[in-house]
A and B are shown apart, each in its own frame.
Chain A
Amino acid sequence: MSKYTEDDLREELKTKEYEYGFYTDIESETFPNGLNEDIVRAISKKKEEPQWMTDWRLEAFRVWKDMEEPEWANVNYKKPDFQGISYYSAPNSKPKYESLDEVDPELLATFEKLGISLDEQKKLSGVAMDVVVDSVSVATTFKKTLGEKGIIFMSISEAIKEHPELVKKYIGTIVPQKDNFYAALNSAVFSDGSFCYIPKGVRCPMELSTYFRINQAGTGQFERTLVIADEGSYVSYLEGCTAPSRDENQLHAAVVELIALDDAEIKYSTVQNWYPGNAEGKGGVYNFVTKRGLCEKNAKISWTQVETGSAVTWKYPSCVLKGDNSVGEFYSIAVTNNYQQADTGTKMIHLGKNTKSTIISKGISAGKSQNSYRGLVQINSRAENARNFSQCDSLLMGNECGAHTFPYIEAKNKSAKIEHEATTSKIGEDQIFYCNQRGIDTEKAIALIVNGFSKEVLNKLPMEFAVEAQKLLEISLEGSVG
């Protein structure tokens, strides 16, 4: 990495205007409610997309029209009115607040607990910011370092314009437009998202994160992410952030596609903390996400997720283990409190020989919430020596919540080795007593025990995330102790 000098900074500040210029000229513009072919065309036009992209979106829309919303998930909610939503809202460049004093104090208190810096607090809560030299320089140095390595990391709309050949080749190959209801909807109307390409043999030197990307604020409700790791490369990608997002959009339908070519490795970590609704279960975000990765020969995809937000979560990060010796991993913590509902899990499709997958899922339910694990392990007949280990543990707090496990296991090869185990338990009174006895109050004791319970997964998160996630668990479960 070349030394970053003040001159560089000056240069960047000069060009900064241009960088943001793109956003300013479309200031707060919202399309009429409803969805039809014209709206899809208009979205595409707005984003100055080439014809093939418009056609691709239209194709998705036509499929979506005839699809029905899935009902199999173990969640209960009022169906969103798809014609009552505006499908395009340009990022609002005007700050919501003039200073931090205007922001909801409850939100600030949470920031405080999470240990988020003041500048970040401002950004996250939508407070007008001065040019924070530090923050800008961080972002731009990142871009520079990445550029030197040949790594492409930009928003997907930029990528469609600048690297159409890559986008065209890979988009929709893992999650086809007609994959499911929400994926089809997303394909038709996706607003923006991230695109990432790691060239052959490159080890990405830093954790890529949407969190650090200043341009990225307000990617909107239909996010589309495409990560391609070329042969022998490595990337660790972080999505979301631990700070609570007070998003007004009720419905979020994102699609994430990962492609790990031969010998590549992708580590994808998510922390999701959308607005879960209030204590009475009013409001909150519906989070319907399709995430899937494809592993070629010797490749590895590892999903790690910490799900604490959203009123309804419907999310199954999956791995298609196509190449021989490929590895898929899924580590998840899902915490539900109050009236939250989560139906989450994974699919491991073993196609290649000697493929391995590991599933560790920890569900914690409190309040009146429902927490389900739903997973599929499929060993196809040609997948010799496939190996799977799954473990689903649930922790229940109080007798008004529910924990459910729906593991599907399908084996078609005699050399397959599959193990699945699940347990359900509560926090032992003796454990609490032990802590109390040593002067740790019950609330802290529970936090401690929950952290221990989820340790296996927390350990998989990148360092800075892990610390925040730990605190997040505490906050999510606050007040759940009777």
Chain B
Amino acid sequence: MDLKEKLLSSFLVFEDKSDADNYLHEVRNDAIKTFEEKGFPTKKEEAWKYTSLNKVLKEDYSVFPKQENALDYSDIKKYFIHDIDTYKIVFIDGKYSSHLSQTTHEGIDVCLMSSALTKPKYRLIIENYFNKAATKDSLPSLNTAFSNEGAYIHIPKNKVVEKPIQIIHFSTGNESAILLQPRNLIVVEENSHVQIIERHQSLTDNPVLTNSVTEIFTKKRAIVDYYKVQNDNLNASLVDNTFIKQKQESIASVHTFTFGGKLTRNNLNFYQEGERIDSILKGVTIIGNKQHVDHNTLVHHIEPNCESHQDYKGIFGENATGVFNGKIIVEKEAQKTNAFQANNNILISDKATINTKPQLEIFADDVKCSHGCTIGQLDESAMFYMRSRGIPEKEAKALLMYAFSNNVLSSVKIPEIKQRITKIIANKLGVNIGFDL
């Protein structure tokens, strides 16, 4: 039985058990129908031209974990940003772990999707926002059909959330292979500000496939900083679907740091539904060892006077494959749009591949749109400069690569994350970069 059939039949069981109300029931049923029609995306689809899921889908994933697992905090402490105080929402094999988490209902809601979906108190928000940003593509639909657990964050008006929120998904390897489908909903009301850090971590070598959907709504003048740390082990694959709907004067930024994982696909979509919005998409990707990373971004400029800034840097070694597919659409009403996109790549191995496709679709005339894309090598004269001053080759290379990705790091607003990423990069490059930032 292939995965699609398995999922379709599991859906029946899942729906039977769930105590969802009619509204949710309908949404899920529609979604599974969409998935049944479309199936898993194949390379024949333009958006998946360079990324094949075939290998990943071959595993016999269990859809519902059989038993609950507990983890000891000391074992997994290193996966947290633990040197600052944060709210934490932790999931183990898709199940909420209350003793590792730290949620709140005081002034803001930082809690669980499962309770938001079932408790009447949240009903209005669910009906207004749930599945309102996600597209009807096959993977988001599959997630919608099985949507059950994840993070639910609601920040009311005029609230600056002082502590960042960490969302961490662990998989323990208790199942031989597991499919996780977390579903997050984040609503940030007017003038509010929140910082969120998301991480997926597999603790064993058993294959994991995560098909995650995050919907973010930023209201007037709201600010959202979202950091995705993707440094999973080499048997874990991730399809991350993030949809952000912005209202006027809001600022949303998403930083994606990709170092690990077997196959990582980031579908990052911004919809600007108001004037003077700023959208920021940044990413650093450093991979090797048969890894595959695909950044698929969309910025949809619908209203006038908005901006978007994209900056993705990639370093690809060994047999790695990197894909960047960035799309900017400027509707004809969206005059005075400023949209920038940059994608810079370095290939450090002959077996590595880069496929990039920066795309512009522009229907308005009074706009400034540009995209730049480069593929190149480390600057030889810079290398020579450092070598001639006694810096060993490996360190010199690492320094250059670090400098290359620093543009993106400099806009990270939480210093602890910056430190952590610097460390991961140093680790990845096999050197000890002797300075802190």
Complex-state Cα separation, A241 to B399, whole angstroms: 56
What number of A residues sit within 8 Å (CB to CB) of B? 35
Give chain B nearest CB distance to A259 CB in angstroms: 29
Binds A, one of B68-76, B119-127, B343-351, B413-421: B343-351
Which residues of A sit under 8 angstroms from B359, Cβ to Cβ? 404-407
Whether A410 and B354, one on each chain, are in contact in the complex, defined by CB atoms closer than 8 angstroms, is: yes
- A404–B330 CA distance with the chains assembled, in angstroms: 10
Cross-chain contact A409 with B332 (CB below 8 angstroms): no
Complex Cα gap A403–B362 (Å) = 5
Complex Cα gap A404–B360 (Å):
5
User: Considering the complex, which residues of chain A in the window 368-419 have a beta carbon less than 8 Å from any beta carbon of chain B?
Assistant: 379, 381, 394, 396-419
Contact, CB under 8 Å: A420 / B366:
no
Task: Tell me whether B357 is interfacial, beta carbon within 8 Å.
Answer: yes
Pick from B348, B349, B373: contact of A421, CB under 8 Å: B373
Contact of B357 among A396, A406, A421 (CB under 8 A): A406
Q: Are A407 and B373 in contact, with the CB atoms below 8 A?
A: yes
Closest to B348 in A: A414
Tell me the bound Cα distance from A146 to B35 in angstroms: 65
For B356, the closest partner residue in chain A by CB is A409
B377-388 Cβ-contact flags toward A at 8 Å (1 or 0):
100000000000
Q: Does B64 reach chain A (CB closer than 8 Å)?
A: no
- Contact of B355 with A418 in the complex, beta carbons under 8 Å: no
Answer yes or no: A18 CB below 8 A from chain B CBs.
no
* Contact partner, B350, options A72, A407, A413, Cβ 8 Å: A413
In the complex, A423 has a CB within 8 A of chain B:
yes
Asked if B354 contacts A409 (CB within 8 A), the reply is: yes
- Docked Cα-Cα span, A214 to B328, in Å, equals 48
Indicate whether A418 sits within 8 Å of B374 (C-beta atoms), given known contacts A399-B335, A406-B359. yes
Among B362, B365, B373, the residue within 8 A (CB) of A404 is B362
For B, the interface residue count at a CB cutoff of 8 angstroms equals 35
Determine the chain B residues whose CB is within 8 A of the CB of A410 once the complex forms.
353-356
Among A402, A412, A414, A417, the one with the most B-chain Cβ atoms within 10 Å of its Cβ is: A414
Given known A416-B375, A421-B370, A421-B372, contact A403–B360 (CB-CB < 8 A): yes
A residues within 8 A CB of B355?
408-411
User: Is B222 an interface residue, CB under 8 A from the partner?
Assistant: no
Q: Which chain A residues (415-465) contact chain B, with CB distance < 8 Å?
A: 415-426
Q: Does B431 contact A (CB under 8 A)?
A: no
Q: Which residue on chain B has the smallest CB distance to residue A398?
A: B365
Docked complex Cα distance between A426 and B332 (Å)? 13
Q: Is B46 an interface residue (CB 8 A)?
A: yes
B350→A424 contact, CB < 8 A: no
Residues on the A chain within 8 Å of B368, using CB: 423-425
B358 contacts partner chain A, Cβ-Cβ < 8 Å: yes
- Minimum CB–CB distance from B302 to chain A (whole Å) comes to 14
Residue picked from B348, B358, B375, most chain A C-beta under 10 Å: B375
B167-200 CB mask vs A (1 if < 8 Å, else 0) is 0000000000000000000000000000000000
For A422, the chain B residues whose CB sits under 8 A away are 358, 360, 369-372
Q: Which residue of A lies closest to B349 (CB)?
A: A414
- Closest CB of chain B to A382's CB: distance in Å? 9
On whether the beta carbons of A426 and B373 are closer than 8 Å, the reply is no
Say how far A33's CB is from chain B's closest CB, in angstroms: 34
B109 to chain A, nearest CB (A): 42
The minimal Cβ–Cβ distance linking A117 to chain B, given in whole angstroms, is 38
A410 CA / B345 CA spacing, docked (Å): 11
Are A414 and B347 closer than 8 Å at their CB atoms?
yes
Please tell me if B153 contacts chain A, counting CB pairs below 8 Å.
Answer: no
A424: chain B residues within 8 A (beta carbon): 360, 362, 367-370
Known A-B contacts A398-B365, A418-B373; the reply to A407 vs B358 at CB < 8 A is yes
Report chain A residues within 8 Å CB of B79.
none
Distance, CA A402 to CA B330, complexed state (A): 9
**B433 interface residue per 8 A CB criterion:** no
State the CA gap A404–B358 with chains docked (Å). 11
The chain B residue with its CB closest to the CB of A370 is: B363
CA distance A403 to B329 in the complex (A): 10
In the bound assembly, the distance between CA atoms of A418 and B372 in angstroms comes to: 10
Chain B residues near A402: list those with CB within 8 A: 361-363
B364, CB-defined interface residue at 8 Å: yes
Question: Closest CB-CB distance, B397 to chain A, in whole Å?
Answer: 13
- In angstroms, Cα B387 to Cα A389, docked, is 30
Q: Which residues of A contact B350 (CB under 8 A)?
A: 381, 412-414
Complex interface: chain B residues within 8 A of A417 (CB): 374-377
Q: Decide: B371 and A405 in contact? CB cutoff 8 A.
A: yes
**A415 contacts across to B, CB distance below 8 A:** 347, 377
Distance in Å: Cβ of A337 to nearest Cβ of chain B: 14
Across-interface contacts of A398 in B (CB, < 8 A) = 365
A420: nearest residue on chain B (CB-CB)?
A: B373
Name the B residues within 8 Å of A400 (CB-CB): 332
Residue of A nearest to B325 (CB): A408
Q: What is the bound-complex CA distance between A415 and B352, given in angstroms?
A: 11
- Residues of the A chain whose Cβ atoms lie less than 8 Å from the Cβ of B373: 407, 409, 418-421
Q: Given A394-B362, A402-B363, A418-B376, output 5 extra A-B contacts at Cβ < 8 Å.
A: A407-B358, A408-B357, A411-B375, A423-B368, A424-B369
B contact set with A: CB distance below 8 Å: 46, 332, 335, 345, 347-377
Q: List 21 A-B contacts (CB under 8 A).
A: A72-B46, A379-B375, A394-B360, A396-B364, A399-B364, A404-B360, A404-B362, A408-B355, A409-B354, A411-B375, A416-B347, A416-B375, A417-B376, A419-B372, A419-B374, A420-B374, A421-B371, A422-B371, A424-B368, A425-B369, A426-B367
Closest 3 CB pairs of A and B: A396-B365, A414-B347, A418-B375
Which A residues form the contact surface with B (CB < 8 A)? 72, 379, 381, 394, 396-426
